[in-house]
Amino acid sequence: MILVLVETDATGAVEVSRETLTFARDLSAAGGGVPIDAVVVGALPCPVADLAAQLASYGVRDVHHATGDAFGAYGGAAWASAVQSVRASVGSVVVTAAGTPRGMEVLAHLAARLDVTMAANVVAFDGLAPFTVTRQVVGGAALEDMVLGERPAIFTVAGHAVEATTAATPGEGRVVTTAPEVAAADLVARVVSAEPAQEDLSGGLKSARVVVGAGRGAGSADGFGDLLELVDLLDGALGVSRVVTSLGWRPHHEQVGQTGSRISPDLYVACGISGAIQHWAGCASAKTILAINTDPDAPMVAKAHYAVIGDLHEVVPAINEEIRRRRPA
């Protein structure tokens, strides 16, 4: 049995969790159709029945809902305790989660307490005997083939490793409510307060349909006026490279890349960005990339679908003007 830790928001399972369920389904098929169960922990921001129906459409058999005071506030060790309890009761041979901060944290706790290996950011499995996975390393610039010989096999799935698709044959989606006991030591590190903060702005960046990116080519902290106007005209979000945040031109929550946000917009307009590996790791999943750069040989230009060769300070105002010109009066 494959057990998938599912993270939720008001719409049900978050997209990366649905991608992980899709990945798990491929694994299940390769293993002869072993069942897939989901585990969700704590108070849910959506009705559990709706969530179960959604997860069933992704092929989930049982949805184990771990409830109780221990899960009132998020804590990685407590969540791992819940996953461990469910795993023990259903006897799963694989435990997986999305490669989100929480997915990584919870499964790392689980792997540590079970003293087994964990593979982070898996993008494919290459064989079942022995169970071998391929994962992203060096910020996605290299791949590692890694053997997960122990049971349970524990791994997280990298965002956008697969596209989330529903199952040809839905699962049953039965809700199994459980109240696992949690040791006091696992409750020490928990969220004591949470507040929507400025950093929340990165949520807009991650969900924006269009992202206008800016790098060193912006020139200075004052060089973002035209870029922000383009953001506004495209109803998008601004994303920047690491050098921009390092220079203090823009705040870190706008950073796209290996140590910033990973985005997958319909359109990424990369302005004055050379395309270092670390930045590429954050924007490679964009469906269409337009690079605006003075250097025709810049990696970002070579990797983009479309390019304009030129200084962003000349090109972007002209684009803004053209958009305004074509707008109906």
Partner 1 sequence: MSLDVLVCVKRVVDSTGEVVLTEDGQSADGRYAGFTLSNHEECAIELAVQTATAAGGSASVLTLGEPEAVDQLRSALAVGCTAATHIGADPGAFGPADVAREIAAVIRDHEGSGRPHDLVLLGNDAADTGDFQVGIRLAHELGRPVVNGAATIAVEDGHVVAGVKGPEGRETYRVPLPAVVTVLEGGVEPRYPTVPGRMKAKKVEIEQRTPSTEPAGPNRRRLRLPPPQPSEVQVLGKGADAAAAVVDLFEQLGVVAR
Q: Which of 61, 65, 242, 250 binds partner 1 (CB under 8 A)?
A: 242
**Binding residues among 51-70 for partner 1 as defined by CB under 8 A:** none
CA distance 316 to 329: 22
Residue 8 Cβ vs partner 1, minimum distance, rounded to whole Å: 10
Q: Is 108 in the site for partner 1 (CB under 8 A)?
A: yes
Contact indicator for 138, 27 with CB cutoff of 8 Å? no
Q: Which window, 48-56, 60-68, 85-93, 319-327, contacts partner 1 (CB under 8 A)? A: 319-327
Length of the chain: 329
Size of interface with partner 1, in residues (CB under 8 A) = 96
Q: Which of 65, 250, 253, 262 binds partner 1 (CB under 8 A)?
A: 253
Q: Is 255 in the site for partner 1 (CB under 8 A)?
A: yes
Q: Which of 44, 102, 167, 295 binds partner 1 (CB under 8 A)?
A: 102
Helix (H), strand (E) at residue 29: helix 15-30
Q: Which of 136, 180, 231, 244 binds partner 1 (CB under 8 A)?
A: 136
Q: Is 232 in the site for partner 1 (CB under 8 A)?
A: no
Task: Name the residue nearer to partner 1 (CB basis): 34 or 74.
Answer: 74
Residue 263 Cβ vs partner 1, minimum distance, rounded to whole Å: 15
Contact indicator for 182, 81 with CB cutoff of 8 Å? yes
Q: Which window, 27-35, 53-61, 95-103, 165-173, contacts partner 1 (CB under 8 A)? A: 95-103
Q: Is 129 in the site for partner 1 (CB under 8 A)?
A: no
Q: Which of 157, 240, 271, 276 binds partner 1 (CB under 8 A)?
A: 276
CA distance 211 to 173: 36
Q: Is 149 in the site for partner 1 (CB under 8 A)?
A: yes
Q: Is 44 in the site for partner 1 (CB under 8 A)?
A: no
Q: Is 128 in the site for partner 1 (CB under 8 A)?
A: no
Q: Is 183 in the site for partner 1 (CB under 8 A)?
A: no
CA distance 14 to 23: 14
| DSSP-derived 3-state class of residue 1 | coil
Q: Which of 186, 191, 174 is nearest to 43 (CA)?
A: 191
Q: Which of 19, 37, 62, 105 binds partner 1 (CB under 8 A)?
A: 105
Q: Which window, 18-26, 59-67, 175-183, 305-313, contacts partner 1 (CB under 8 A)? A: 305-313
Residue 236 Cβ vs partner 1, minimum distance, rounded to whole Å: 8
- Helices assigned H by DSSP within 34-126: 48-57, 76-90, 101-114
Contact indicator for 240, 276 with CB cutoff of 8 Å? no
Q: Is 76 in the site for partner 1 (CB under 8 A)?
A: yes
Amino acid at 91: G
Q: Enumerate residues 6+ apart whose C-beta is below 8 A from 195.
A: none
Instruction: Provide Rg for the chain, Cα atoms.
Output: 22
At residue 138's C-alpha, the angle toward residues 132 and 144, to 5°, is 15
Cα 38 to chain centroid distance, Å, stands at 18
| DSSP-derived 3-state class of residue 244 | helix
